[in-house]
Chain A
Amino acid sequence: MKFLPIVWRNLLRRKFRTVFTIGAIFFAFLLFGVLMAIRAAFSMGVDMAGQGRLMVIDKVSIINPLPASYESQIRTVEGVTDTTHANWFGGYYQDVRNQFATFAVEPESWLRIYNKEYNLPEEHKKAFLADRTGAIVGSDTAKKYGFKVGQKVPINGTIYRRPDGGPWEFTIDGIYDSPIKGSDKTQLVFHYDYLRETIPERSGMRDRYNWYVFTIADPDRAPQIAAKIDANFANSPSETKTNTEKAFVSDWAKQVGDIGQIMMGIVGMAMFTILLVSGNTMAQAIRERTNELAVLKTLGFSEGRILWMVLMESAMIAVVGGGLGLALSYALITATGDPTHGMLPAFYFPTPSLVAGIGLVAALGIASGILPAWQASRLRIVDALRRN
């Protein structure tokens, strides 16, 4: 630590170069942060899906709703602790472009099963449960459209249609937040009963749900329970597919497919290039001082000490540039959230990625310094002094 001033002076001898090297590293890590958020967004929150929760959908496609009678049959399967159901409503506010996830659900069981995901003040929850035309909405959507608690909002559906063609009017009874990082705060959830009364009986779509969610006592038994439920409904007009919520989200993310991976691949490569450029410059800065290092050796600096000093110099550049880049990208991503405004709700900086980023900073600092440092420490003084 005694030689910190020397390291510091060395960094300042070519201020311009140091500043721009730090700058390049800074942008590389800023990019890294964005990249990780994109990856999280394309995995659609698969990390947040509940392990102990399973979903049942129609085997052919989720667009075919399942009969309401299935719920009681699912509930009687051994190991199942709770059930709820939902319908995809496809709601939008005023303009069809303003779409957000809208579910028609059975409120009590829905909030019971998803009580961790929906952080809702107790009085909001009470009001919602008691209000047949009530709805709760995520804080992101509420903020975007300026919804306030108690406000009546007209919401149109793209799938369901009121007989009079007009929108459904919901009272916003509560605005939920979520303590879980990256969870979807864009949803609007309302009573299925309110939707049900507008579905004509002859359509055959009344009392049919797009999916059931149920919880089980022992997550390890999920495969057996899923198999049992699917067997129950085999050879019926509505065969089912049961799987964990995680598996469904992961399949859904895979449907988006290569795009996410390709973007990741090429951006990763680009980041690598920027790091290569700056790493090379850092190494260059040390190489051109070879005879100076020889002087230090002449003065009695040990090999280890020189190695250490050179490493410290490169590590400092990496830590300042990379650290600032990571910190800023973390702050920006956390502050702005989804840059597409509602299309990628799970846009956040996952903690494991942050750890990986810090590891990468350390690796850069060491890797760019180690070779010239090792060369410098191994130098024979006479050779080094004779150079130039």
Chain B
Amino acid sequence: MLRQVFAVTSVNIRSIRQRLGSSSVAVVGIAGVVLVFVAVLSIAEGVNATMQASGDPNTVLILRAGSDTEMTSGLGGDATRIIQDAPGVARDAGGAPLTSPELFVVVDHPLKRSGSPGNVPLRGVTAQAFKVHDHLKIVQGRNLEFGRNEIIAGSAAARQFVDLTVGRTLKWGENTWTLVGIFEDGGAVSESELWCDVKVLQPAYRRGNSFQSVYAKLASPDSFQSLKDSLTSNPQLTVSAMRAPDYYGSQTEVLQTIIKTIGGIIGVLMGVGAVFGAVITMYTAVASRTREIATLRALGFGSIPVVFSVLAEAALLSIAGGLIGGAIAWLAFNGYETATMNFQSFSQIAFKFAVTAKLLMMALGYALLMGLVGGLLPAIRAARLPVVTALREL
């Protein structure tokens, strides 16, 4: 039996070459589905990767209670001082608390890809910020000098927006800024932002002495709860505290839902369409081999080897399609950087398409499933061919 399966299957597979035309159609069909599937989901993966890079678990983000993003939060200067003295906050060598009060606004600036205005996040920080966000490093130019109208730009922002190069003068409203440096932050969201001195930004945006968020470094990984409790139970404060990974995880929920919903609908619809395509192809393959299959059956080969051989052919074609589609997706999209509107932070967020191994495996599995489902009906049909009439056909 096993030998029969092997014999028929190998004959079958070796004869694919003679049916190259119709077989390649099935391969192309499945490759197309896999390409789309991988490409769409790699967007979600890429956004996810950016968010992962942003969330240092030892950093805590403190916002006004009830605010879900920095954009809509607000903290007075006095509140930020209470926060820096809270228990559980790490301190630097000089004993100063590692907290970074920040102001987050957006400005309109033209995007490279369309020339139309996009929302660039502009973050006002204090000198302490560079100790809290300790992965950040200047890769071009120099760091900003506090007290002056100077800006440093994230590397992703510099790639997405026009004129963000060292030495440029930028004007928003009544304020003129000089861009003095470009920074990287390990692929984090901050690379999509511009940073400046918060004391210069506050009056420019009529914000008095108010901030929007405080980033705090934890003294130890497990001091989060005590810090959170002391902040939320303090009657002078109405704030919420969360670990940075949780915050960034929630920041792109809307965007991820949109991508995944659309990707899901498209993936399923196309998958079913491709199964139909595979059915047609395998059916044609079986039809063109009617006499051959009938001969095998007449020689005493059982129906199971025949079913198996058709399924094996379908599986082979679908895996070929899956590999081609996955490879094209990887070549065309992996690492491609673009930016999109993140509705929650109301600003542009840059990310790179991430064609991950996990995604490729998933896609390959999906391709195989499509091939097997598509091959099943024709396989059964081949096994059930009445030998006598089939021999007479054609």
Contacts and interface: CB of A to CB of B under 8 A. Distances in A.
A204 B266 CA distance: 48
A85 to B, nearest CB: 19
B18 interface: no
Given A20-B279, A251-B117, A256-B341, A280 B25 contact: yes
Interface string B342-380: 010010100000000000000000000000000001000
Contacts of B254: 343
A239 B43 contact: no
Interface size grouping (class) on chain A: 35 or more
A250 B387 CA distance: 65
Max chain A C-beta neighbours (<10 A), residue from B257, B259, B266, B343 = B266
A29 B385 CA distance: 33
A327 interface: no
B113 interface: yes
Interface residues of B, number: 72
A318 to B, nearest CB: 15
Given A61-B107, A204-B206, A277 B340 contact: no
A186 to B, nearest CB: 13
A61 to B, nearest CB: 5
Interface stretch (B4-12, B140-148, B269-277): B269-277
B277 A61 contact: no
Nearest to B238: A165
A263 interface: yes
Contacts of A24: 273, 276-277, 280
A278 B280 contact: yes
B116 A251 contact: yes
Interface stretch (A72-80, A217-225, A264-272, A296-304): A264-272
B276 A61 contact: no
Contacts of A343: 254, 257-258, 343
B165 interface: no
Contact of A254 (B64, B116, B272): B116
A273 B74 CA distance: 52
A388 B40 CA distance: 47
Nearest to A260: B340
A262 interface: yes
Interface in A1-21: 14, 16-17, 20-21
Contacts of B270: 27, 31, 267, 270, 274
A386 interface: no
Interface string B219-247: 00000000000000000001000000000
The main secondary structure of chain B at its interface with chain A is: helix
Contacts of A156: 66
Contacts of B111: 254-255, 257
A158 B68 contact: yes
18 contacts: A17-B287, A27-B270, A31-B266, A34-B266, A34-B269, A59-B173, A61-B108, A165-B238, A238-B173, A251-B117, A254-B116, A257-B341, A274-B29, A274-B32, A276-B25, A277-B28, A277-B29, A280-B22
Interface of B: 21-22, 25-26, 28-29, 31-33, 35-36, 39-40, 43, 64-69, 71-72, 74, 105-108, 111, 113-114, 116-119, 172-174, 205-206, 238, 253-254, 257-259, 261-262, 265-266, 269-270, 272-274, 276-277, 279-281, 283-284, 287, 338-341, 343, 346, 348, 377, 381, 394
Given A161-B64, A339-B261, A343-B343, 12 more contacts: A21-B276, A23-B276, A59-B108, A96-B66, A97-B253, A158-B66, A258-B338, A269-B36, A274-B273, A276-B25, A276-B29, A277-B29
Interface of A: 14, 16-17, 20-21, 23-24, 27-28, 30-31, 34-35, 38, 58-61, 63-64, 90, 96-97, 156, 158-159, 161, 165, 204, 237-239, 241, 250-252, 254-259, 262-263, 266-267, 269-270, 272-274, 276-278, 280-281, 284, 339-340, 343-344, 388
